[in-house]
Chains A and B, each alone.
Chain A
Amino acid sequence: MLEIRGLKKKFGKYQVLNSLDMTVPSGALYGFVGPNGAGKTTTIKVMVGLLAPDEGTVRLGERCLGEEGWREKIGYVPDYFGVYDNLKVNEYMEFFAACYGMEGLKARRRCSALLEQIGLEDKADFYVDGLSKGMQQRLCLARALIHDPELLILDEPMGGLDPRTRFEFKETLRELRDQGKTIVISSHVLSELSELCTDVGILDQGRMALNGNIKDILSQVNSSNPIVITLFGGGRDKALALLKSHPYVHTITVRGDEIAVRFTGDRQDEAVLLQQLVDAGLLISSFTREQGSLESLFMQITGREEERTVMKYENESGL
């Protein structure tokens, strides 16, 4: 498990990280999100040992940041490729294997296995700078895995990749997660993270605004989302009268035949409400709880929820 406690980092007068706390469970695929300048890359650079924190602790299992063998446990894929001219793919891999003390047959076998895993085995004799962007990114991932790290940290790894390469990259990450690797991935493509990650952390202004299991978070978000009721063949006033008298209904928003209701009851209360509407002789064509997304959550946390609400609901009326 990766644990960060009270992490602080300042550049000049600018406090980039402000008592950041973060927990990444073992075996998790952790989505690390935040607006530009929130401090994601700084946090990642601290985690991989490229920046020294001003304050705070970073622990991976029993080991603390900076202790002997810390780097051995971490694989890092930055938001750039970092390739050498005039170096072939297998030489590039063997160079980084040697950087971790692996040489000879052992290194060659490990390199071959990784190139096969990421689908670059037929490119072993190609020059690195001649590979496509997607291939270079996959090669970077293979490089980061050369020493079989416990924790893999990827900083915006899917930026600039085409949809197919993104898909393949995500599949590789899922495979790695299934192999038991803990993966921290920072990205701006939130829809991708929500379908890929098991856990999420939202960073805002150098602090962790939200951290936890993505399913738990989204279910909490879902329960606070409105129920959208679509009526068939009129009866709006009757429905509104019934809803206004319901104890769990907090706000009602009307848009055409659709009524959005902020409802604080549980799933059973939702079912009872539906039953009451039907018993009142109303024809209900749909009755659904609006699904929360990582994107909407991100917008809420980073203070841009109002824009979304205004766009979504035209005639909001409180009770």
Chain B
Amino acid sequence: MKTNPVYRREMTVASRSLRMPLIITVFNCILAAVALLNMYSNVMQVRLTADIQYGSFLQLYEFAADIEFIMLMFIMPAITSGTISGERERQTLDLMLTTEMKSWEIVGGKLAASAVTIFLVVGSSFPLIALVLVYGGITGRDMLYMLLCFVVTALFTGGLGICFSSLFKRSTVSTVAAYGALAFLVAGTLAANSFALSMARMDLNQAGYTAGIIGSQTANSGALIYTLLMNPAVTFMVILQGQTASGSGGILEMYGTREPNLILDHWILASSAVQLLMASLFLVIAVKMLRKKGIGRNA
């Protein structure tokens, strides 16, 4: 089987850079320090009280998962948003486009190289996270779910980055635009739901006063809740809260109570599907725009 030439070249160049070993080292050092401190505090507590708090081991898992997810959300767009525009800036994109390489092969190679790079970091931390398996509470299946969530998030944020990289001529502009779009999708959807919920509560309170009863319990953000399907952070929180039973109530319940339906009952699956669909859409746009000159560039 032939390896994608773009992927192979990216990996060759990345393997020569000190950036990735440094990120892996620093990231794992932080995780190791947290794991050791966590275990030390548990051991100390056992010595003092003879009480083993198994729940505290889950904090290590939560911490590691949070860090990894944040890394995916923040590093993946940074890596991918300069891929195509970087080639334009180096004037190497035209050279590739005059070869027999298909546009989707170029975009695919770029995405694969970025995803492999980020998963190298995520994968390197798994032995540390596996410490929680020793004490129980988190199963291998839970970790597999989390890994799948990471894969979907990486594809989503990576696709978004490549899409903007293909749209804009300059890497700095595409990076800013990619982060802007990501902030809109993550913080924007949450803010929109909060706003809709507040409005609904105000309406209900007004109606309650009119009717002589105070009722804010049934208020919710309405159909806007489904915009959260596009939000990878919500999917991650739903998975994590399901696994560790942390926090007071689920993230979706924060925006009001609802009658159960197919989407709400299978939120993880539905949101993953929506995000994968959006990632595909981003990649299609990137492929289509690859042979255009990019915004901000004359012919």
By the criterion CB–CB under 8 Å, are B94 and A50 in contact? Answer: yes
Return chain A residues, CB-CB under 8 Å to B91: 78, 80-82
Contact assessment for B299 and A11 in the assembled complex, using a CB-CB cutoff below 8 Å: yes
When distances are taken between beta carbons in the complex, the residues of chain A under 8 Å from B97 are: 49-50
Kindly supply a per-residue 1/0 record for chain B positions 77-121, scoring 1 wherever the CB is within 8 Å of any chain A CB and 0 otherwise: 000000000000011101111111100000000000000000000
A74 touches B98 (CB 8 A): yes
A28 within 8 A of B: no
Among residues of A, the one whose C-beta sits closest to the C-beta of B105 is A99
Taking the nearest CB of chain A, how far is it from the CB of B93, in angstroms? 9
Q: Is B5 an interface residue (CB 8 A)?
A: yes
Residue interface bits A86-111, CB-to-B below 8 A is 1, else 0 = 11000100011011110100000000
Contact (Cβ within 8 A) B298 A71: no
Please report the C-alpha to C-alpha distance between residue A83 and residue B13 in the assembled complex, in whole angstroms: 13
Given A71-B100, A95-B8, A98-B5, verify A11-B298 contact (CB < 8 Å). Answer: yes
Interface 1/0 per residue, B1-41 and A, CB below 8 Å: 01101001100110011000000000000000000000000
> Which A residues touch B12, using CB under 8 A?
86-87, 91
**By CB atoms of chain B within 10 A, which of A71, A91, A99, A101 has the most?**
A99
Is A85 in the interface zone, CB < 8 Å from B?
A: yes
User: How many residues of B are counted as interface, with CB atoms below 8 angstroms from the partner's CB atoms?
Assistant: 23
- The reply to whether B95 and A76 contact each other, CB–CB distance below 8 Å, is yes
What bracket does the count of chain A residues touching chain B fall in?
Answer: 20 to 34
- A95 and B7 CA atoms in complex are apart in Å by 10
A-B contact count (CB 8 A): 67
Nearest CB of B to A72, in Å:
6
Interface residue A186 (Cβ < 8 Å from any Cβ of B) = no
Interchain CB contact (< 8 A) of B299 among A51, A72, A83, A99: A51
Q: In the bound complex, what is the Cα–Cα distance between A100 and B102 (angstroms)?
A: 10
Most chain A CB inside 10 Å of its own CB: which residue of B2, B9, B17:
B9
Q: Which of B3, B13, B291 contacts A86 (CB 8 A)?
A: B13
A232 CB-CB contact with B under 8 Å: no
Residues of the A chain whose Cβ atoms lie less than 8 Å from the Cβ of B8: 95, 98
Chain B residue nearest to A71 (CB atoms) is: B100
Residues of A within 8 A of B99 (CB): 71, 96, 99-100, 147
Complex formed: what's the CA distance from A80 to B95 in Å?
A: 10
Instruction: Report how far A81 CA is from B208 CA in the complex, Å.
Output: 73
The complex places the Cα of A85 from the Cα of B192 at a distance, in Å, of 44
Whether the pair A87, B98 counts as a contact (CB closer than 8 A) is no
Q: Is the CB of B5 within 8 A of A78?
A: no
Q: A74 CA to B94 CA in the complex, in Å? A: 14
A84–B90 contact, CB under 8 A? Answer: yes
Question: Which A-chain residue is minimally distant from B95 (CB atoms)?
Answer: A82
Which residues 63-85 of A sit at the B interface, judged by CB distance below 8 A? 71-72, 74, 76, 78, 80-85
CB distance from B126 to the nearest CB of A (A): 29
Contact (Cβ within 8 A) A100 B98: no
Contact of A99 with B5 at beta-carbon distance under 8 Å, contacts A78-B95, A82-B94 already known:
yes
**Would you give 30 A-B contacts (Cβ < 8 Å), ordered by A?**
A42-B299, A45-B299, A49-B98, A50-B94, A50-B98, A50-B291, A71-B98, A74-B98, A76-B95, A76-B98, A78-B95, A80-B91, A81-B91, A82-B91, A82-B94, A83-B90, A83-B92, A84-B13, A86-B12, A86-B13, A87-B13, A91-B9, A95-B5, A96-B95, A96-B99, A98-B8, A99-B5, A99-B100, A147-B99, A147-B100
Q: Which 5 A-B pairs have CB atoms at the shortest separation, nearest pair first?
A: A98-B5, A99-B99, A82-B92, A86-B13, A76-B98
**A contact residues vs B (CB 8 Å cutoff):** 11, 42, 45, 48-51, 71-72, 74, 76, 78, 80-87, 91, 95-96, 98-101, 103, 143, 147
B residues engaging A (CB < 8 A)?
Answer: 2-3, 5, 8-9, 12-13, 16-17, 90-92, 94-101, 291, 298-299
